Amino acid sequence: MQHPDRSRVARWWSAVWPIALGLALGAPLPADVAPAPPRSVARTAERSTTMASTRYEKPAAAELQGRLTPLQYEVTQKAATEPPFRNEFWDNHAPGLYVDVATGEPLFSSTDKFDSGTGWPSFTRPVEPGRVVERDDTSHGMRRVEVRSQGGASHLGHVFDDGPAPTGVRYCINSAALRFIPAARVAAEGYPEYAALFESGAAPAAAPAAAANSCTVDAGPPPGCAATLETALLAGGCFWGMEDLLRKIPGVLETEAVYTGGALPDPTYEDLHDGTSGHAEAVRVVFDPKRISYADLLEKWFFRMHDPTTKNRQGNDVGAQYRSAIFVTSPEQRKVAEEVKARVDASGKWPRPVVTEIVEAGPVWRAEEYHQDYLQKHPGGYTCHYMRD
C-alpha cells in the first residue's frame, strides 16, 4: 500500500508540474489557476474586526429558483450584470445593511456606500472581513476581479482600484444581488451585531462625494462595468395589461409599472389623471439580449399588444397618460426603434398611420405597489391588451 503522505505529494506534483514548467518557459498561468490581478489597494481597506461568526450556505438550486426573481437568479447564479441607473439601489441613500439576496449573508453597509456616478451601488469595502471573496475573471475579453459572497458564492459584481480616498477601492455591485435592511430593522431581522454601525452619531467610514471618485459619469463608462442585460421603457396604454403580456415573454427577466415622460417629480396615479404631470403609464422591462433582441421585443410584441395608431388612447382609456411611446435609453435603441416603427407602418397591418412617439428616456418613477403585477393579483381584472396577428 502506498504511503498516504507520498500519495498526497504525488497528486500535488501531478497538478503543479505543468504550471511550473509553463512558468519556466514563460507561459501565462491558466485562467482557472491564475490569482486575481494584482491590485494597489491596501488590505486595510477592510475592517479589521469580525462582527459576527454566523455561517451562511447556498440553498439547493430548486429552492433558489423558487425564491429569487428571474433577474436575481440570472445575476447571482449566472453572473449577469443588470443595466445601470435603472436598478433598485444605485441611488438609495437610506442607512442600513445590504445582505446576499440568496442566503442573507451580510455584505455591505450604507456607511461605506458612495455615489460613484456609474449607475450601480458602489461601496468602499465589505461590512467585515471574509464576507466577500475575489475571483479572477477573464470573461468578455478583459481581466477583472469578480466578487462573490463567501457563504453562497453568489455573483455580486466586480471590484476596481478607481475608488475614492482613503481606500481607493470601488466595489461595483448589482442591486439584484442584494436585499436591503433599513437600519431600524437590522436587529429585528437577525443582525443585532451590526446595529451599532447605524447608531446616532456614528460617522460613516467612507462616504465621499462622487467628485472625489475617478469613476463618474463625466469620465465616461467605467472599465469593466458594461451591462450584459438591457432595459426597455415602453408605453402603450394601461400598464396593467402591458405588464401582464410583457412579463411572459421568453428572455424578459423583470417588469415594473412606472411613470415616465413628464416633468412632475415623484408623480402619483392621481397626478396623471388630472393632467398635471405629463407622464405616461409605462413598463420598465429588463431583458436578456442574447435571448430576445430589442428589435424583436418591439416588432413581435410591443407593436402587437396595443394599437399604435390611436393618439393618446387605448380602448376606453383616453388621455395623454395612455399614449403609445418608446422611451429609448441609447442611440442604438433609437436607431432600432425608428427602423422597427417604419417597418410596422409600411406593413399594411394597421389601417391608419403609426403615431408611436420615440423619445429620450428621462427619470422613471415606480408606480404605487397596488399597480405592480396587477393582473397576477387580480386575475380577470380589466385590460384592453391582447396580441394581434
DSSP per residue, 25-75: TTPPPPTTTSPPPP----GGGS-SS-S------PPPHHHHHHHS-HHHHHH
**Which residue is catalytic, options 172, 215, 225, 384?**
172
DSSP 350: S
Q: Which residues pair with 283 in a beta bridge?
A: 234, 257
For residue 143, which of 125, 126, 158, 164 has the smallest C-alpha distance? Answer: 158
Q: Cα separation of 229 and 329, whole Å? A: 13
φ, ψ for residue 339, nearest 5 deg = -65, -45
Residue type, 65: Q
Does residue 215 have an active-site annotation? no
Does residue 238 have an active-site annotation? yes
**Which residue is catalytic, options 215, 225, 238, 384?**
238
Cα distances (angstroms) measured from residue 260 to each of 45, 233, 263, 287: 40, 9, 9, 19
E-assigned strands of the chain? 96-100, 106-109, 113-114, 122-123, 132-137, 144-149, 155-160, 170-173, 178-182, 230-236, 252-260, 280-287, 313-314, 317-318, 324-328, 357-360, 364-366
The cell for 21 is 514548467
Catalytic residue set: 172, 238
